[in-house]
Amino acid sequence: MGVEIVLATSALSLLLIGLALPAEIATRVVSHTAVILLLSMVAVLLWAQGQLPLTFTSDYDELTSLMLTKHFRFDAFALYVKILILFASACVLFIGLGFIGSEPMRKSLYRFEYVVIILFATLGMCLMVSAQSLLALYVGLELQSLALYIAAAMQRDNLRSSEAGLKYFMLGALSSGLLLFGFSLLYGSAESIEFAGILASLQSPSHPAPTMLLVGMVLTLAAIAFKISAVPFHMWTPDVYEGAPSSIVAFLATASKIAALALLMRLLVEAFLPLLDDWRPIISILAIASMFLGALATIPQTNIKRFIAYSAIAHIGIILIGFASATPDSMRAVLFYLCVYMTMSLGLFAFVLAMRSSGEVTERIQDLAGLAHSDAKAALALSVLMFSMAGLPPFVGFFAKFYIFLAALRTELVLIAVCGALASVISAFYYIRIVKIMYFDEAQGNLVLQGVGNRWILYASAIAVVGLTLAPSLLLERGEQAIRVLFAS
């Protein structure tokens, strides 16, 4: 619980500090403080991860008087995911700083509230991944969603941003409605809002799962599919990604996705595992549809943010293969994929946020033309990220896909694995198209990268992508620990 308490108090105090400080320096001070705070929390949690016994769980018994017990749990799984979320938030705040400070975003975005909103969203995510009951899950999910609705619409003087915020809010509200309706059915059938209670009601061998519970589960899955933008619940993604401020999109694409996927993992394993045969087809269809639609729809994109939106859908498809396999191995593969995906995405967003063409922020893919001449190092780093996202060896993106496919073949989901492989070939096309534009096309614009910080994040991400290939065990072992806890319950 420590993480959440620290986050909540610091978000609130930063809000006060921001008000007290003179407007010129408030944003800078608040955001730097937040970055340092988040990073030091990551460091502490990483240390704790090394110290904790492998099967560590805690039901917050010491906090019984304060909290509704058994609604949250702090275990190795939550720890693992929280490290990712906090790290992603810190990086997003850091790489977004130059972006929100540049014209024409400066007027509406360069505010310390922006930082506080991201902190609240992070808090919501941390609650989500620790949730042990439907109620706690909903509270966490809505906290992050509300914060993100505001963030998406934050650029008030921009029509597209407002539109994106509204779209996101409307569809998000719809999915929340679905979720609540699903929860009420689950509660009505299982007579418990705790994951453990639902699991217990499913494990009683006397009768098959009641229809009401199945409908509740399907509605819940649909609502979460909306959050992770799996096809056919993906409609909002490209528009919101294109319209919302890029720094918020970076947050949506990394931390928010990680949290929602971790939530899905917890829910499926801790509450619905006995219904595997019922939800596996659902997840499989979501996976296949997302892979192919994501892969095909990315091809004609000319805006880099729409490109990222559709390619993210394709990645979600691959990740969902891991869910469909539903073994400890496959879930470990999913966690590994999340780490790798986060690493690559942060690098990519560091690049996108720094893209400037004749002083203006640009999002056109074609502006990358000739980057290999004007900025060889950045072009090389970006192409490493692209190759890795395409899952090409020898980069770590390959291993991420490899473990997902390995787990799928072990559970004999051959068809899905073959679909995944074919979709990877299609996705390779548009990733190498970016490389082609940078290396083979004649320069058109004069793209420059603004900010040294973003450049270093880009390099660091590319180096990590190469370095993790040499020692993927580092991440895999810690994931092992997290997954063991999840399946033990």
Partner 1 sequence: MDNWPLLSTIIFLPLLGAGLLTLIRGRENDIALAAKSTALWVALSNFALTLGLWYSFDRQQEGFQFVESKSWIASSGISYSVGVDGLSLFFVVLASFLTVLCILASWRSITKRVRDFMAAFLVLESLSIGAFLALDTILFYLFFEGVLLPMFYIIGIWGGERRIYAAFKFFLYTFLGSVLMLLSIISLTWIGGTTYIPELMNTDFSIGLQRVLWLGFFVSFAVKTPMWPFHTWLPDAHVEAPTAGSVMLAGLLLKMGGYGFLRFCLPILPDASQFYAPLVFSLSAIAVVYASLVALVQEDIKKLIAYSSVAHMGFVTAGLFANNATALSGAVMQMISHGLVSAALFLCVGVLYDRAKTREIKAFRAIVQPMPAYARLMLVFTLASIGLPGTSGFIGEILTLLGVFQASPATAFALALGMILGAGYMLHLYRRVFFGPPAAMPDKLYDLQTRENFVLISLVLPVVWIGLYPAPLLNIITPDILPIIATAGH
Angle formed at CA 124 by CA 123 and CA 127, multiple of 5 degrees: 90
74, 77, 183, 405: residue in contact with partner 1 (rule CB under 8 A): 405
Both tokens assigned to 258: 């990680």
Q: Which stretch binds partner 1 (CB under 8 A): 21-29, 47-55, 251-259, 431-439?
A: 431-439
Asked if 402 interacts with partner 1 (CB under 8 A), we say yes
User: 119 to each of 9, 18, 19, 212, how far by Cα in Å?
Assistant: 10, 14, 16, 37
233, 317, 480, 486: residue in contact with partner 1 (rule CB under 8 A): 480
Asked if 477 interacts with partner 1 (CB under 8 A), we say yes
Both tokens assigned to 63: 């906090």
Calpha distance 285→413 (Å, rounded): 12
Asked if 89 interacts with partner 1 (CB under 8 A), we say no
In the complex with partner 1, the residue whose CB is nearer, 307 or 395, is: 395
Both tokens assigned to 406: 């390995």
Calpha distance 412→359 (Å, rounded): 53
Asked if 421 interacts with partner 1 (CB under 8 A), we say yes
* CB of 271 vs partner 1, minimal distance in Å: 28
Both tokens assigned to 366: 């074609």
| Contacts to partner 1 from residues 358-397, by CB under 8 A | 387, 392-394
Note whether 357 and 447 are within 8 A (CB).
yes
46, 180, 406, 460: residue in contact with partner 1 (rule CB under 8 A): 406
Query: Which string of x and - marks every residue 288-327 that binds partner 1 (by CB under 8 A)?
Result: ----------------------------------------
In the complex with partner 1, the residue whose CB is nearer, 329 or 367, is: 329
Q: Which stretch binds partner 1 (CB under 8 A): 109-117, 199-207, 228-236, 436-444?
A: 436-444
* DSSP calls for 207-274: SPPPHHHHHHHHHHHHHHHHHTT-TTS-THHHHHHHHS-HHHHHHIIIIIHHHHHHHHHHIIIIISGG
What is the enclosing helix (H) or strand (E) of 447? strand 447-449
In the complex with partner 1, the residue whose CB is nearer, 75 or 480, is: 480
* CB of 433 vs partner 1, minimal distance in Å: 8
Cα end-to-end span (Å), the chain: 19
Asked if 431 interacts with partner 1 (CB under 8 A), we say no
Note whether 426 and 295 are within 8 A (CB).
yes
Q: Tell me which residue of 357, 196, 366 sits closest to 272, measured CA to CA.
A: 196
Asked if 432 interacts with partner 1 (CB under 8 A), we say yes
In the complex with partner 1, the residue whose CB is nearer, 18 or 397, is: 397
Residue 459 burial by Cβ neighbours in a 10 Å radius (0-12, 13-18, 19+): middle
Asked if 439 interacts with partner 1 (CB under 8 A), we say yes
Asked if 466 interacts with partner 1 (CB under 8 A), we say no
Asked if 417 interacts with partner 1 (CB under 8 A), we say yes
Question: Could you count the other beta carbons within 10 Å of the beta carbon of residue 363?
Answer: 17
130, 424, 454, 461: residue in contact with partner 1 (rule CB under 8 A): 424
Note whether 141 and 256 are within 8 A (CB).
no
- Which residues are at the interface with partner 1 (CB under 8 A)? 387, 392-394, 398-399, 402-403, 405-406, 409-410, 417-418, 421-422, 424-425, 428-429, 432, 435-436, 439-440, 472-473, 476-477, 480
